Structure 1
Amino acid sequence: MNTSSASKCPFHASAELNEKAQKFDMFGPEFQHCPATALQSFREEKPIFFSEEMNYWVVTRYEDIREIFRDPVIFSARNVLEKFTPDTQETAEILQSYDYGMNRTLVNEDEPIHMERRRELLEAFDSSKLEGLRELTKTLVTNKVDEFIGLGKVDLMATLLWDIPVIVALKFLGVPDDDISVLQQFGVAHKVNTWGRPSLEEQKHVATNVGKFWHYSGEVLERMKQNTEGQSGWMYDMIRKNQSNPRVVTDNYLHSMMMAILVAAHETTATATANAIKHLLSTPKLWQKLHHQPQLIPSAVEECLRYAGPIVSWRREATENIQINGVDIAKGDKLFLVMAAANRDPEQFENPEELDILRDNASEHLSFGYGAHQCLGRNIGRLEMCAFIEELTRRIPDMALSEQTFTVTPNTSFHGPEALWVEWTPKAVQGTEKTSRTFPIGNPDKRTIVRPAKVVAINTIATDIKEIILASEDDTLAFPRWTPGAHIELHLPNGLKRKYSLCPSLNANHYTILVKQETHGNGGSAWIHHHLMVGDRLSIQGPKNFFPLKPHTQPVLLIAGGIGITPMLSMAEQLKHENKEFRLLYCGQTRQSMVHINQLEKFAQAPELYISSEGNRIDLETLLKVQPPKTHIYSCGPKSMINEIQMLAERYHLAFSSELFTSESQTLDPEKENAFEVELMDTGKTYSVPRDKTLLEVLLNNDIDVPNDCAEGLCGSCEVLVVEGGEIDHRDHVLSAKEKQSNQKMMTCCSRASGKITIKL
């Protein structure tokens, strides 16, 4: 299955929204209540806008934000820690009294020094180095829960979530135990100081604690420098780097990073976990689900990070004049990248407003950033969140939210409850405990995130075509909603996986697919036709949508070939419901091989049939050259038909989106493949891609988070930029011929290279 689009849908904002954009205030009640929903209408109609109130460009779409994160040179991180409320003379004097001298760190440094330093720091964050930290976290969480489990009601933020991330961060740094209790006292809520509008008293309080931390941590650092032999921890590693490479890892950088890591690891993890628990408890069946099926906790963590991540926006500054999605940004302009809005972008996540713990692409969220500045400590945060949620769901399955009014600390970038009151019946938890679970560190394996389904009906509706109707096997989790063009992936008992577009169902709780038996396929459709029976259980993934129907004011032309009618049925149904102007053209070999041929009127008012055996073949050239300007063509069917329509759409300047279902195998043949090497520009590390592995597999096996989905070169989600090196052997169905010829992009799931190449995520 492949999708492509020759043009982007234009955005049209109302006069009211334009006026609202100018006055948009991130400190306003709407944004402070829920950043994602506050920007929903902007993302749909005006995805990049300038707020005169904030003096910032506000960016809301997933694709735009990912591209900005992708380029740390044009979009500098220098303004990330700029304070909205500058230090007063009084606070400056407080900091000066402690010799405070924190300089730029990884989060707000520019290239090239940022990447030089990042490469020196990477190794300590490898998943293999975090095993001891995971066991420490589990022990800390267990001991804390032991202290309050008999109470029946606590504020989780105060009793559990705020303290443990500090201790874990200090242990990661390698700070001696005797100093940990002292440094804990200086824990500071930086979100209001840097990204908020603190009062003078709040500024003085923060300045005092920051000064004390800086002074005492400097003393700790000096003592650590005197005794590095046999010592472990991130600071000891950096002390050794300081000795071997003092130009890059300077004395001040050591001290600054000690504070930066503590701040980054503290508030983000505490807030992320509070958000996750709050939303999981808001839907009690999800909490119960995790109690009974704890193996789902890692995927639930990723979905919670997508749905309600702790950092809702981040900042960048343009270093040159640039255009983003048709909007001109001038050199020096400042941008707010609102990840909370991007993480609910329907063009990236199907049914994004629902918390769906079985969403297998949730880890593509932007809550950890992306590219060169992606959070180094993301796997530490993941392991802590898993430990918190595993302990609480296992030991307190009847936990519930107490009656309370949730409050947040007003700021632009962090969002989470200041307190999280929960309650349970102390006696009820006795005997509920199960065996503690340990999860792999890192991004969860999306191949394990599946939905249980059962076959409720199988109908033969045309020659060699069967209609398969599926229902959820899980009584607690219904199938999620989907949009026209969406598909699911079936995991078949014979080990094959196949993607099928969803068709309209009479029962909204069912998923309906059409499966044509392919005589030259690899066995998936044949197994379904000959072996699948009503009552059988299957695992599915999705729904996902690589072929979305966009909002349209211009005419729409739907062209289906053979079994390609499947996504067109839902598109036609939606367009008809919206009373939009469209035509549905359906091409087939014989009348008997075409589905719903006598029922198409319920999907389209005047469907047009082109049946080859009856002498009525479609003339695409004649059809397309007379289409009104701005007509958008959607097509699904054989590759030859798709290629011809794409060529004609380009010739006649028509917008074009397509989906190709293919049975072509992407299985590697080691006897015919060449091994090659890849240098990752973001880290400077080089990886060997053997004959029997894809580049995507190699990257994922080395804990490098790469968005990915189809693994067949069909969806485009695993695209990377090729900076330099050998020729790319393009095997995808996404890039245009011109893009392939330019040698600047590559799909890591299927394409290969000759010689060594350098890539950028």
Structure 2
Amino acid sequence: MTSTTILSKIPAGCPMHQAGERFQPFEHKGMTDFYASVRPEVPIFYAPSIDCWVVTRREDALAVLRDHERFSASNATAPIVPWPEEMHQFLRDQHFTNESVQVACDPPRHTRGRNAAMTFLNMKKFQNYEADVRALARSYINEISNSGKDIVDLVESFTYEYPAKVAFLLLGEKQLDARKLKQWADLRIKLIFGTLTHEQQMEAARDLADFWHFASALVEQRKKKPGDDYPSALLAARAGDDSILTENEVKSLVFGLLLAAHETTTNAAGNLLFELLKRPITWQAIVEDQSLIPNAVEEGLRYATSTIAWRRRAKVDVEIAGVQLPRGSQILLSLTSANRDEKQFADGEIFDIGRSNARSHIAFGNGIHHCLGAPLARMELRILLEELTTAFPKMRLEDEESISFLPTLSFRGPDRLPVRLNR
């Protein structure tokens, strides 16, 4: 039985059918309102525009994320618009040999990759970077202060590059071009989660190849001169043994970090600041009491999730929320909806930095694919707020209506964040 067959047996006027017809997977404006309207009656619905079953409730999303025996992550980064053969051939000619080692793969390969990555990506190691991360944040604030401007774009002047510079610390590099890395990463996200034309895909492919060559060169450098950094740690874990990791898998893990270590944090920072600054009383509360900041970060991650959805594929015939799905079904887990589920979060549509269970969100996923960089992202966001509230306590949002979000399936963050500093 196919998804279409299942859908044909559901009355056309029922809430599940209506949800599928109304769903706009790439439109962020109104998305949370849509989920709030369907979640009470529709825990799952079929979205024909993306050929996915969309899961709206937290308990069901958690069950899928935790069940890697019946659900595969192999489609997590499959391109929404399939890449043309011309693009595949170009990438082959450019020796682009990236493999899915962590985010979009299953055990046992995922286990090997995760075990190797965890030798470096862990809480103890991240704590060693706090002084450097704070120094980075202050450097951006000093540039803003010295600009003499009273109205600035916080995305352009701070949150766009800041997490990328933190990623460079993990790579053992401080002088790399953060803006170039961000441009590469932005294109990669559009290639996977956006709807590019053929011409745009081919243009992005050239940058994708450059991105891969950059990651590969870093690994080659660390083979000759290892240091206290992520590529060196992976090579040390590999110890020349392909059964632990192949050299290409090491390069693929570094390539993955060059996206994962900053893109979602850039968006999370923008989302968090947007929600706080829309509420001057809430902003003033963290200005006056910085002990509120860690929970404000968690509430921001819950309420304005930057990874809005993640995909899985059914390995076998399964049942989700009472609906029988055949093997091979594509599933979209709405983290945005799950993180506002009223069964877990009372008044989930309200932004409340005092929420006692804010940290129960699943913004970083769950199960074996839970984000290894979550502690570092939390640190970056906490330091961001500590330094901004200290430097610009009277800062206010400017021109809220002009802010928009990049139309992608899985990621959400403001393209700009104009503020008045009110020095």
TM-score normalised according to structure 1 size:
0.52
SS of alignment partner, residue 81 of structure 1:
coil
Contact 2:101 2:109 (8 Å CA) reproduced: no
412, 415, 418: which one pairs with 1:415? 412
Q: 1:170 to 1:94 in 2, by over 3 A?
A: farther
Q: After superposition, what is the alpha-carbon deviation per residue over 1:591-629, rounded to whole angstroms, capped at 9, x for unaligned?
A: xxxxxxxxxxxxxxxxxxxxxxxxxxxxxxxxxxxxxxx
Matched residue type, 1:407: S
Correspondences of 1:15-414 after superposition (within 5 Å): 15=13, 17-27=15-25, 29=27, 32-149=28-145, 150-174=148-172, 176-177=173-174, 179=176, 184=181, 187-189=184-186, 190-228=188-226, 231-243=227-239, 245-403=241-399, 404-414=401-411
Q: After superposition, what is the alpha-carbon deviation per residue over 1:41-71, rounded to whole angstroms, capped at 9, x for unaligned?
A: 2211011112223211110001000011111
Residues in 1 aligned to 2:175 and 2:140: alpha-carbon distance in whole angstroms: 20
User: What is the CA-CA distance between 1:94 and the residue it aligns to?
Assistant: 3.9
Contact 1:319 1:332 (8 Å CA) reproduced: yes
Q: After superposition, what is the alpha-carbon deviation per residue over 1:614-657, rounded to whole angstroms, capped at 9, x for unaligned?
A: xxxxxxxxxxxxxxxxxxxxxxxxxxxxxxxxxxxxxxxxxxxx
Matched residue type, 1:64: D
Correspondences of 1:538-687 after superposition (within 5 Å): none
Correspondences of 1:463-474 after superposition (within 5 Å): none
Contact 1:192 1:409 (8 Å CA) reproduced: no
SS of alignment partner, residue 23 of structure 1:
helix
Residues in 1 aligned to 2:139 and 2:354: alpha-carbon distance in whole angstroms: 30
Matched residue type, 1:344: R
SS of alignment partner, residue 252 of structure 2:
helix
Q: 1:172 to 1:364 in 2, by over 3 A?
A: same
Q: After superposition, what is the alpha-carbon deviation per residue over 1:452-482, rounded to whole angstroms, capped at 9, x for unaligned?
A: xxxxxxxxxxxxxxxxxxxxxxxxxxxxxxx
Residues in 2 aligned to 1:185 and 1:348: alpha-carbon distance in whole angstroms: 35
User: What is the CA-CA distance between 1:128 and the residue it aligns to?
Assistant: 1.7
Correspondences of 1:448-597 after superposition (within 5 Å): none
SS of alignment partner, residue 128 of structure 2:
helix
Q: 1:215 to 1:185 in 2, by over 3 A?
A: same
The count of residues paired between Structure 1 and Structure 2 equals: 410
Q: 1:155 to 1:91 in 2, by over 3 A?
A: farther
Contact 1:26 1:54 (8 Å CA) reproduced: no
User: What is the CA-CA distance between 1:206 and the residue it aligns to?
Assistant: 2.3
Residues in 1 aligned to 2:228 and 2:298: alpha-carbon distance in whole angstroms: 30
Residues in 1 aligned to 2:167 and 2:142: alpha-carbon distance in whole angstroms: 22
SS of alignment partner, residue 120 of structure 2:
helix
SS of alignment partner, residue 53 of structure 2:
strand
Residues in 2 aligned to 1:137 and 1:199: alpha-carbon distance in whole angstroms: 38
Residues in 2 aligned to 1:378 and 1:368: alpha-carbon distance in whole angstroms: 7
Unaligned 5+ residue runs, structure 2?
1-9
Contact 1:24 1:52 (8 Å CA) reproduced: no
SS of alignment partner, residue 319 of structure 2:
strand
SS of alignment partner, residue 263 of structure 1:
helix
Q: 1:77 to 1:185 in 2, by over 3 A?
A: closer
User: What is the CA-CA distance between 1:312 and the residue it aligns to?
Assistant: 0.5
Residues in 2 aligned to 1:34 and 1:262: alpha-carbon distance in whole angstroms: 31
Q: 1:421 to 1:304 in 2, by over 3 A?
A: same
Residues in 1 aligned to 2:234 and 2:132: alpha-carbon distance in whole angstroms: 22
Q: 1:118 to 1:327 in 2, by over 3 A?
A: same
Q: 1:89 to 1:14 in 2, by over 3 A?
A: closer
SS of alignment partner, residue 39 of structure 2:
helix
Report which stretch shifted further, 300-309 or 403-412: 403-412
User: What is the CA-CA distance between 1:244 and the residue it aligns to?
Assistant: 5.3
User: What is the CA-CA distance between 1:87 and the residue it aligns to?
Assistant: 1.8
Report which stretch shifted further, 315-324 or 397-406: 397-406
Report which stretch shifted further, 395-404 or 238-247: 238-247
SS of alignment partner, residue 337 of structure 1:
strand
User: What is the CA-CA distance between 1:88 and the residue it aligns to?
Assistant: 2.7
Contact 1:26 1:412 (8 Å CA) reproduced: no
Q: CA RMSD in A?
A: 2.1
Q: 1:396 to 1:185 in 2, by over 3 A?
A: closer
Q: 1:109 to 1:28 in 2, by over 3 A?
A: closer
User: What is the CA-CA distance between 1:191 and the residue it aligns to?
Assistant: 2.7
Q: After superposition, what is the alpha-carbon deviation per residue over 1:134-166, rounded to whole angstroms, capped at 9, x for unaligned?
A: 211111111111111231111111111111211
Structure with the bigger percentage of helix: 2
SS of alignment partner, residue 58 of structure 1:
strand
Residues in 1 aligned to 2:64 and 2:11: alpha-carbon distance in whole angstroms: 23
SS of alignment partner, residue 282 of structure 2:
helix
Match of 1:424 in 2: 421
Residues in 1 aligned to 2:76 and 2:183: alpha-carbon distance in whole angstroms: 23
Structure with the bigger percentage of strand: 1
Q: 1:203 to 1:348 in 2, by over 3 A?
A: same
SS of alignment partner, residue 331 of structure 2:
strand
SS of alignment partner, residue 209 of structure 1:
helix
Matched residue type, 1:211: A
Unaligned 5+ residue runs, structure 1?
1-11, 429-761
Residues in 2 aligned to 1:212 and 1:185: alpha-carbon distance in whole angstroms: 13
Percent of paired sites with the same residue: 30
Residues in 2 aligned to 1:181 and 1:25: alpha-carbon distance in whole angstroms: 35
Residues in 2 aligned to 1:360 and 1:304: alpha-carbon distance in whole angstroms: 13
Residues in 2 aligned to 1:161 and 1:363: alpha-carbon distance in whole angstroms: 22
Residues in 1 aligned to 2:78 and 2:193: alpha-carbon distance in whole angstroms: 8
Matched residue type, 1:390: E
SS of alignment partner, residue 49 of structure 1:
strand
Correspondences of 1:744-759 after superposition (within 5 Å): none
Which of structures 1 and 2 has the bigger CA Rg? 1
Matched residue type, 1:137: V
Q: Which has the higher contact order (CA 8 A, sep 6+)?
A: 2
Contact 1:82 1:194 (8 Å CA) reproduced: yes
